[in-house]
C-alpha cells in the first residue's frame, strides 16, 4: 500500500476543488447582477456546476469506498485524526446536500435545471414559492458551511506543510 491516494481520487480532488470555488463564486456573484439574460446565464451555469459536483462527489465516494486508501497519516494524534475524519464526512455530506437542495429549490421555484444548456433535468417537486425560499435559505447556509469547511481544510494543510513539515500534502498532491 502506498502513502499516496490513488491517481483518480487525486485528480477528482483537485478538479472538484476548482469547480467548487468557481461554483461558490458564481453563487455569490449571480444575485448581484441585474435581472435579465446575464443573470439567467449565471444561474444556469451555477446549477450546471452544482449538478457536476453532485456527480463527481458520488463518483469520489464510490472510489473511496472501494479503496484501497493509504493508512492514516503516521504520528497524528488520535484527536487530530478524528477531526480530519469529521471534516471529511462533513465535506461529503454538504457536497451531496447542496446540489440536491439547489435542485429542489429550483424545482419549487419553477426554474428548470438545464445541464449546460443541453439536458433539462426533471423537476424534483412541484412549484411552491414558500418552500423554494426555505430550500434556498438552507442551500445558502450550506454554502457558507462549505466555505467554513474549506477554510478549515486549507488551514490544516498549511499547518502540516509549513509548521509540521511532515509532507502530508504529498498524499493528495496532484503530481
- pLDDT surpassing 80 at residue 1: no
36-59 pLDDT per residue, tens: 999 999 999 999 999 999 999 999
Tell if the pTM clears 0.75, that is, is over it. yes
Helices (H), the chain: 7-30, 37-66, 78-109, 129-158, 169-172
Task: Summarize pLDDT for 114-140 with one digit per residue, the tens.
Answer: 999 999 999 999 999 999 999 999 999
What integer pLDDT is reported at residue 2 of this predicted model?
A: 58
Distant-in-sequence, close-in-space partners of 47: CB < 8 Å, separation ≥ 6? 102, 103, 106, 113, 114, 115
Percent of the chain's residues with pLDDT above 70: 99
Cα 141 from chain centroid (whole Å): 14
CATH number given to 7-172: 1.20.950.20
User: For cell 456573484, what's the residue?
Assistant: 29
pLDDT range class, residue 63, cuts 50, 70, 90 = very high
81 grid coordinates: 485524526
Q: Is the pLDDT of residue 61 over 70?
A: yes
Instruction: Break the chain into its structural domains and give their ranges.
Output: 7-172
Higher local confidence (pLDDT), 101 or 169? 101
Amino acid at each position: 500500500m502506498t502513502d499516496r491516494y490513488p491517481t483518480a481520487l487525486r485528480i477528482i480532488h483537485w478538479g472538484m476543488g476548482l469547480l467548487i470555488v468557481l461554483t461558490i463564486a458564481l453563487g455569490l456573484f449571480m444575485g448581484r447582477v441585474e435581472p435579465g439574460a446575464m443573470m439567467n446565464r449565471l444561474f444556469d451555469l451555477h446549477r450546471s456546476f452544482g449538478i457536476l459536483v453532485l456527480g463527481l462527489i458520488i463518483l469520489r465516494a464510490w472510489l473511496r469506498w472501494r479503496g484501497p486508501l493509504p493508512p492514516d497519516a503516521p504520528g497524528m494524534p488520535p484527536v487530530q485524526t478524528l477531526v480530519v475524519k469529521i471534516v471529511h464526512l462533513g465535506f461529503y455530506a454538504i457536497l451531496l446536500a447542496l446540489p440536491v437542495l439547489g435542485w429542489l429549490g429550483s424545482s419549487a421555484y419553477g426554474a428548470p435545471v438545464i445541464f449546460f444548456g443541453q439536458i433539462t433535468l426533471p423537476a424534483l417537486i412541484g412549484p411552491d414559492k414558500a418552500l423554494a425560499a426555505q430550500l434556498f435559505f438552507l442551500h445558502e447556509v450550506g454554502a457558507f458551511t462549505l466555505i467554513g469547511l474549506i477554510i478549515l481544510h486549507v488551514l490544516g494543510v498549511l499547518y502540516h506543510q509549513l509548521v509540521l513539515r511532515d509532507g502530508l500534502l504529498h498524499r493528495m498532491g496532484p503530481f
